[in-house]
């Protein structure tokens, strides 16, 4: 009965979403306060109903209710409880339900926190939010219903893809979805502003924290995803420019651009049209990302056509949401009033440069991701666009971005002094040059680009420190006074500093791990030793172990450095019998300078020999640290109370207005 | 019943929340411009705070203040449509929306639920599953036990073709395609790659890949057809491979040809016709326009012998009880044959093992005695 109540709650949510998507919109158009007032309670009700449906599905998973088709296909009674729970969103239907749940929760949050917004704006935004939910709920109920039942429940389920039975992947989709769906708020507000034909001061103030929240979640989600790929897929890398990865990276790039242009709208009341455009792009790419991954279109255009109803529905939904919003933008966008002016060399100018580079990067990745699909769909040859393409177009765009990033925060608004800013960065330049020379002579003489990449990271890191030192007048005044200033900095400033510094650390990690990775693949018999980047790996043999729902071969390597024992690594190769699917569990030991990474493959010969893959991945921990710093920056900035919108009240304007006139 | 009480409760709560808010709604007390002014005021406060903390230079602060105040002036002075007196709410509209909500919500939600839901179906958590379904689980477990025992016995008699085939088919029924394919590989080696075993092996490879005809399976089917050009299962799967490669027209042609060379009462015709309809519809091809290729040989008078595609397919779809019946059928076939050839000692031993697997120890002892008798006869 709980399953059926969940099913009904989902249907009721659809009806409520329909009401919420139409009544307040008409009300806002007619200026009818009563109709507009329907938006907030509807948003809250909708969230509660979708949460009930999600809870009911989760209950079915936890109790192994095999009368539910979705549970049969994706669960098994012997699976550990945590993966029964994560199995709820580890499949198409359940993940769509999670998507709508997050959408509804964001809608409810707008209803709760948006009490002080102009009623017309909040009513329209909530309506747009509900229309998105309506489309998705229709899609779920009519093509991907997770509450479908079977008359005769089988004895047991068909298990979850064992690759997904992993903590990294269990929590990667929810974060990713929080990010994707978070952009829906910026999108809804952008559409509402276009419908109203005006961008309120509250608009930019509102869009920024929501974008920031979405961006933070998406950063964490992508980070978790590549961390998972790094230790679970066992090929020693963490990013492959795979279409699935690109699908999440494109909204991130667009969202990063949006985050920065929203600052300009708030502070300077300009770039409004561009920011609205970016908000639409960021969410459109999120939609595209969701469906690219979920529809199966990436593995093959033909797999997509296996379920034509689903495919056609997705296409129509994308067409209405993306096409409709761009059409609206083309129609209403030009009417938005331009705001304050600025010189090319200024904070605004720097943020615009950031936007242009990020938007170009997004466009080339979109091209590289969709081109093979397009060629395949029109019946051409199978082409694949891989890392060489992306590396050669993405890196040249990111180099000027990172280089300019150190300068931008030093420029004041409206008009800046480039020479002055560069003068303050002398120290950064000297240190970066020292880093380049040092690395070149001490470690490596082969890879010029990689050494320059590390130099760029050093330039950015020192630039960030110089910026914050300037703010607190470090060395200019007494240290105690500097410290007081440091503590008094707004949290948004802290957020920016952390995120930019995190990027510097990330750039260093990415550069080093791709340039100086050491890889050794060989067959080893017990007692054999192999040396990888100064560490000696001795293979002690492998034995069979039994896990809760898998059988594994566990290898054992004793690693020594200069004869001293360093660590014991025990990689596993697991076989999940229900699905007959092998997975690899790499054994990783992180050090400050890099990861020792061991993978065991198939048995070879009769003397206990195994194929082994041993890696040294330099600075990979820096990648995770950089991402963590960026997430921390997002959280710090979010907690800044400047982002909140206060209640409007009637206060005499005379004094303020008079001083402006003077 | 409880379900409908819950449904009613949900609808009532939804209506209550929405109607309460609608009934309490008031026109906004502040004009549109005031919202902007509130933001600008807080921006001014921020500038002051930054100056106090010393993180904003006085001249920059003054410029910022001036700009914000200019915007305030524009916001206060600008004509704002919504600043004009809020329109009165006509009572007709008011009641219209109330009626709309009260009617639409229950009617639409219950209507859709009756269309999509299964209101009579209770939850079936594993812990409280009925005895019947648990029996089904036990039968499955019994089948697994028997198969495991057969696998163990095959270790000792690795040269029994029928044993490997029985094991392979049982494993296939248990959806353990990996080991099933290994059992079939043994059978293949013993039969010198007989076409009927080959094609069954190919089918297991397809099942192991989740229904996809991979390159390895394709080669097996091609090998089968070289030895037995009429073998229907291989022809079917090679057609499926074409469909999966995105060439539905070629696949349909293969299947239409297969129908043309099949005897009119071949058991696989129904399935193939259904498949043709499905693929043709998905690809937008009119199934009526398909004609067999020219120069096909006439249908053979009898379907090919041996446990054919259909037997195996049927085995996959059987319940545990039916499977046992099939195994029994095979055992009884062997027993019949031995009545006619009582001197086949190996045959008697095989029969004894089969009875043991089926748990019939009396019959097993009898068969063993026959085997010993036959051996004595062979060594005078």
**CA A592, CA A596: separation in Å to the nearest integer?**
11
Count of domains in chain A? 2
* Secondary element (H or E) of residue A262: helix A243-268
Q: Which of residues 127-186 of B touch A (CB under 8 A)?
A: 127, 129, 133-134, 136-137, 140, 176-178
Binary contact (A32, B89; C-beta < 8 A): yes
Residue contact A118–B7, C-beta within 8 A: no
Position B132 scores a pLDDT of 52
Q: Is A614 exposed, middle or buried (0-12, 13-18, 19+ CB in 10 A)?
A: buried
Within-domain flag for A448: no
Chain B positions touching A18 (Cβ under 8 A) are 108
In a domain, A560, yes or no: yes
Residue B73 burial (C-beta neighbours within 10 Å; 0-12, 13-18, 19+): middle
A163 DSSP assignment: G
User: Poorest-confidence range of A131-140, B82-91, B94-103, B113-122?
Assistant: B82-91
Contact list, A262 vs chain B (CB under 8 Å):
none
Query: Does the beta-carbon distance from A656 to B44 stay under 8 Å?
Result: yes
Domain boundary pick from A165, A193, A219: A165
Specify whether the CB–CB gap between A561 and A549 falls below 8 A.
no
What pLDDT does B294 receive?
Answer: 67
Whether the pLDDT of residue A559 is over 60: the answer is yes
Distance (Å, whole) CA A616 – CA A594: 7
Among the listed residues B323, B258, B321, B251, the one whose alpha carbon sits nearest the alpha carbon of residue B292: B258
Domain presence at residue A281: no
- Write down the pLDDT at residue B41: 84
- Distance (Å) from the C-alpha of residue B46 to the closest C-alpha of chain A? 8
Chain B residues near residue A52 by CB distance under 8 angstroms:
10
Residue B84 is predicted with a pLDDT of: 44
* Residue A545 in this model has a pLDDT that exceeds 50: yes
Looking at residue B310, what is its pLDDT? 53
How far A214 CA lies from chain B's nearest CA (Å)? 23
How far apart are the CA of A599 and the nearest CA of chain B, in angstroms?
A: 23
- pLDDT for A633 equals 95
Residues of B in contact with A130 (CB under 8 A): none
A641 touches chain B (CB under 8 A): no
Which of residues A471 and A571 earns the better pLDDT score?
A: A571
Which value, in Å, is the radius of gyration of the alpha carbons in chain B? 38
Dihedral sign (CA B339, B341, B342, B345): negative
The tens digit of pLDDT for each residue in A299-308 reads: 555 544 456 6
Give the range of the structural domain holding residue A549, as residue numbers without chain letter: 518-621
Last-in-domain residue among A143, A165, A187: A165
- Minimum Cα–Cα distance from A488: chain B residue: B53
Residues 135-154 of A with CB under 8 A from B: 141-142, 145, 147, 149, 152-154
Q: Is A302 on the interface with B (CB under 8 A)?
A: yes
CATH numbers and ranges of domains, chain B: 194-294 (1.25.40), 321-378 (1.25.40)
Is residue A291 in a domain?
Answer: no
Q: Name the pLDDT band for A650 (thresholds 50, 70, 90).
A: very low
- B210 φ, ψ to 5°? 65, 35
Q: Tell me, yes or no, whether A556 lies in a domain.
A: yes
pLDDT bin (cut points 50, 70, 90) of residue A579 is low
pLDDT of residue A622: 95
Q: What is the overall mean pLDDT for chain A?
A: 85
pLDDT digits (tens, 9 = 90+) for A374-415: 887 777 677 778 888 888 889 899 999 999 998 888 888 877
Q: How far apart are CA A13 and CA B329, in angstroms?
A: 55
CA distance A184 to chain B (A): 23
A242: number of Cβ within 10 Å: 14
pLDDT at B213: 85
> Is A233 in the B-facing interface, judged by CB distances under 8 Å?
no
The pLDDT assigned to B207 comes to 85
Q: Which site among B56, B107, B117 would you substitute to test the A interface, given the most A Cβ atoms closer than 10 Å to its Cβ? A: B117
Portion 55-74 of B in contact with A at CB < 8 A: 55, 60, 63-64, 66-67, 69-73
Residue B259 has pLDDT above 70, yes or no: yes
CA angle A226/A397/A343 to nearest 5° reads: 125
* Chain A residues touching B177 at Cβ < 8 A: 580
What ipTM describes this predicted complex? 0.79
B314, pLDDT greater than 70: no
Q: Taking the C-alpha atoms of B56, B62, B68 and B70 in order, what is their torsion angle to the nearest 10 degrees?
A: -170
Q: Kindly state the tokens that stand for A488.
A: 């008094």
Residues B349-361, mean pLDDT to the nearest whole number: 74
Contact flag B86-A33 (C-beta cutoff 8 Å): yes
Mean pLDDT of A563-578: 85
Condensed to tens digits (0 to 9), the pLDDT of residues A17-72 reads 999 998 888 888 887 777 888 889 999 999 999 999 999 999 999 988 888 888 88
Distance CA B260, CA B263 (A): 8
Q: Is A574 helix (H, G, I), strand (E, B) or coil?
A: strand
Distances (CA, A) of A55 to A47, A65, A98, A99, A240: 12, 14, 10, 14, 35
pLDDT tens digits for B86-108?
455 555 666 677 787 788 889 99
Q: Which CATH number does the domain housing residue A46 bear?
A: 1.20.120
B208 to chain A: which residues are within 8 Å by CB? 580
CA distances from A403 to A500, A628, A633, B16, B376 (A): 12, 22, 20, 58, 95
User: Collapsing DSSP states into helix, strand and coil, what is residue A597?
Assistant: strand
**Cβ within 8 Å of A, B 25-54:** 25-28, 30, 32, 34-42, 44, 46, 50, 53-54
Contacts of A209 (CB under 8 A, 6+ apart): A638, A643
Q: Does a structural domain hold residue A241?
A: no
- The full DSSP string for B235-286 is HHHHHHHHHHTT-HHHHHHHHHHHHHHS-TT-TTHHHHHHHHHHHHHHHT--
Tens digit of each residue's pLDDT (9 = 90 or more) over B264-309: 777 778 888 888 888 887 777 777 777 777 666 554 444 444 445 5
Which residue would you say has higher pLDDT here, B317 or B269?
A: B269
Q: Which residues of A touch B180 (CB under 8 A)?
A: none
The alpha carbon of residue A406 and the mean position of all alpha carbons in its chain are separated, in whole angstroms, by 23
- The per-residue pLDDT for A55 is 95
Q: In the predicted model, is pLDDT for residue B336 greater than 60?
A: yes
Q: What is the mean pLDDT of residues A502-527?
A: 90
Structural domain ending residue among the three candidates A165, A182, A197: A165
Instruction: Give the pLDDT of residue B92.
Output: 66
pLDDT tens per residue across span B211-222: 788 888 888 999
pLDDT at B28: 63
Could you tell me if residue B87 is left (phi over 0), alpha (psi between -120 and 50 degrees) or otherwise beta? Answer: beta
Give the mean model confidence (pLDDT) for residues B210-236.
86
Nearest CA in chain B to A47: B14
Residue-wise pLDDT for A532-542, tens only, equals 888 999 998 88
Query: Which residues in chain B touch residue A658, judged by CB atoms under 8 angstroms apart?
Result: none
pLDDT, tens only, A181-218: 999 999 999 999 999 888 876 788 888 889 999 999 99
B279 vs B245: CA distance, rounded Å? 13
Chain segment A455-468, per-residue pLDDT in tens: 999 999 999 998 88
Tell me, yes or no, whether A562 lies in a domain.
yes
SS3 percent helix, strand, coil of chain A, rounded to 5, is: 65, 10, 25
A511: pLDDT strictly greater than 70: yes
E strand intervals along chain B: none
Residues in A 335-394 with any Cβ partner in B closer than 8 A: 340
Residue A486 near chain B (CB below 8 Å)? no
CB A304 within 8 A of CB A311: yes
Look at residue A426 and tell me if it is in a domain: no
Percentage of chain B surpassing pLDDT 70?
79
Which tops the pLDDT comparison, A572 or B361?
A572
What value does the mean pLDDT of chain B take? 77
pLDDT at A285 over 60: yes
pLDDT in tens, B135-191: 566 667 777 778 888 888 888 888 888 888 888 888 888 778 888 888 888 888 888
pLDDT at residue A92, rounded to an integer:
83
B15 touches A39 (CB < 8 A): no
């Amino acid at each position: 009965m709980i399953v059926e109540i969940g099913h009904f709650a989902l249907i009721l949510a659809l009806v409520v979403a329909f009401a919420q998507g139409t009544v307040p919109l008409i009300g806002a158009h007619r200026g009818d306060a009563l109709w507009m007032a329907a938006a907030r309670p509807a948003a809250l009700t909708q969230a509660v109903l979708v949460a009930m449906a999600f809870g009911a599905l989760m209950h079915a998973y936890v109790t192994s209710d095999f009368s539910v088709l979705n549970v049969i296909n994706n669960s098994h009674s012997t699976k550990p409880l945590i993966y029964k729970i994560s199995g709820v969103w580890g499949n198409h239907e359940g993940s769509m339900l999670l998507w709508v749940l997050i959408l509804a929760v964001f809608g409810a949050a707008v209803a709760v926190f948006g009490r002080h917004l102009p009623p017309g704006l909040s009513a329209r935004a909530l309506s747009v939010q509900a229309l998105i939910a309506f489309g998705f709920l229709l899609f779920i109920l009519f093509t991907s219903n997770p509450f479908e039942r079977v008359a005769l429940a089988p004895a047991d389920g068909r298990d979850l893809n064992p690759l997904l039975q992993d903590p990294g992947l269990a929590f990667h989709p929810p974060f990713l979805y929080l990010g994707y769906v978070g952009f829906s708020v910026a999108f809804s507000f952008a559409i509402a502003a276009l419908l109203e034909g005006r961008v309120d001061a509250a608009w930019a103030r509102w869009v920024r924290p929501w974008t920031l929240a979405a961006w933070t979640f998406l950063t964490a989600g992508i980070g978790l995803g590549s961390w998972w790929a790094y230790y679970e897929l066992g090929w020693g890398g963490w990013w492959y420019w795979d279409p699935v990865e690109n699908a999440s990276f494109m909204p991130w790039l667009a969202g990063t651009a949006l985050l920065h242009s929203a600052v300009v709208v708030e502070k300077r009341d300009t770039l409004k049209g561009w920011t609205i455009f970016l908000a639409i792009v960021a969410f459109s790419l999120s939609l595209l990302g969701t469906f690219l991954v979920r529809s199966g279109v990436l593995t093959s255009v033909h797999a997509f056509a296996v379920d034509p109803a689903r495919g056609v529905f997705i296409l129509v939904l994308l067409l209405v949401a993306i096409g409709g919003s761009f059409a609206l933008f083309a129609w209403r966008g030009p009417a938005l009033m331009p705001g304050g002016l600025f010189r090319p060399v200024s904070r605004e100018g720097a943020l615009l440069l950031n936007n242009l580079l990020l938007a170009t990067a997004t466009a080339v990745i979109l091209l590289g991701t969709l081109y093979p699909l397009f060629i395949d769909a029109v019946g051409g040859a199978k082409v694949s666009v891989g890392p060489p393409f992306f590396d050669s177009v993405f890196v040249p765009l990111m180099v000027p971005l990172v280089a300019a990033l150190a300068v931008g925060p030093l420029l004041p608004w409206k008009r800046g002094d480039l020479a002055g800013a560069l003068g303050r960065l002398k120290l950064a330049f000297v240190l970066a040059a020292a880093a380049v020379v040092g690395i070149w002579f001490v470690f490596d003489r082969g890879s010029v680009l990689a050494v320059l990449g590390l130099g760029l990271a050093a330039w950015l890191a020192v630039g960030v420190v110089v910026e914050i030192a300037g703010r607190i007048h470090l060395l200019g005044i007494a240290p105690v006074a500097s410290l007081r200033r440091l503590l008094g900095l707004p949290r948004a400033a802290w957020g920016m500093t952390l995120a930019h510094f995190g990027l510097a650390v990330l750039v260093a990690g990415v550069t080093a791990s791709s340039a100086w990775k050491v890889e050794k693949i060989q067959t080893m018999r017990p007692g054999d030793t192999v040396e990888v980047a100064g560490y000696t790996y001795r293979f002690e043999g492998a034995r069979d172990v039994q896990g809760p729902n898998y059988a594994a071969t566990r290898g054992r390597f004793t690693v020594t450095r200069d004869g001293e024992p360093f660590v014991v690594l025990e990689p596993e190769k697991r076989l999940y019998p229900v699905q007959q699917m092998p997975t690899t569990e790499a054994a990783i030991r992180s050090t400050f300078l890099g990861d020792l990474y061991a993978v065991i493959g198939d048995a070879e010969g009769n003397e206990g020999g195994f194929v082994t893959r041993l890696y040294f991945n330099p600075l990979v921990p820096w990648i995770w640290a950089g991402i963590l710093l960026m997430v921390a920056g997002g959280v710090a900035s979010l907690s800044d109370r400047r982002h909140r919108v206060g209640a409007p009240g009637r206060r005499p304007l005379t004094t303020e207005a008079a001083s402006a006139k003077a | 019943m409880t379900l409908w009480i819950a449904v009613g409760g949900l609808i009532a709560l939804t209506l209550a929340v929405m109607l309460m808010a609608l009934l309490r709604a008031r026109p906004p007390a502040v004009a549109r411009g005031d919202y902007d002014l509130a933001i600008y005021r807080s921006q001014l406060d921020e500038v002051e705070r930054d100056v106090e903390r010393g993180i904003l230079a006085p001249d920059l602060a003054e410029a910022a203040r001036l700009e914000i105040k200019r915007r305030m002036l524009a916001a206060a002075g600008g004509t704002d449509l919504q600043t004009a007196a809020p329109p009165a709410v006509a009572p007709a509209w008011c009641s219209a929306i109330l009626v709309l909500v009260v009617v639409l919500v229950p009617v639409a939600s219950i209507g859709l639920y009756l269309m999509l839901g299964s209101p009579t179906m209770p939850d079936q958590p594993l812990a409280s599953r009925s005895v019947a379904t648990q029996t089904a689980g036990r039968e499955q477990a019994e089948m697994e036990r028997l198969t495991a025992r057969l696998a163990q016995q095959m270790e000792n008699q690795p040269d029994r073709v029928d044993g490997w085939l029985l094991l392979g088919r049982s494993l296939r029924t248990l959806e353990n395609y990996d080991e099933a394919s290994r059992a079939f590989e043994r059978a293949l080696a013993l039969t010198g790659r007989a076409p009927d075993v080959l094609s069954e092996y190919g089918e297991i490879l397809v099942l192991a890949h989740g229904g996809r005809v991979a390159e390895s399976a394709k080669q097996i089917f091609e090998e089968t057809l070289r030895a037995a050009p009429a073998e229907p299962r291989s022809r079917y799967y090679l057609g499926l491979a074409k469909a999966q490669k995105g060439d539905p027209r070629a696949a349909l042609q293969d299947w239409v040809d297969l129908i043309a060379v099949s005897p009119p009462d071949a058991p696989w015709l129904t399935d193939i016709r259904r498949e043709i309809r499905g693929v043709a519809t998905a690809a937008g091809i009119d199934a009526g326009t398909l004609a067999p290729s020219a120069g096909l040989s006439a249908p053979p008078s009898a379907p090919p012998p041996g446990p054919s595609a259909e037997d195996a397919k049927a085995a996959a779809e059987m319940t545990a009880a039916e499977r046992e019946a099939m195994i029994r059928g095979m055992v009884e076939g062997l027993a019949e044959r031995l009545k006619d050839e009582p001197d086949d000692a190996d045959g008697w031993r095989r029969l004894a093992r089969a009875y043991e697997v089926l748990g019939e120890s009396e019959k097993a002892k009898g068969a063993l005695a026959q085997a010993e008798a036959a051996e004595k006869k062979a060594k005078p």
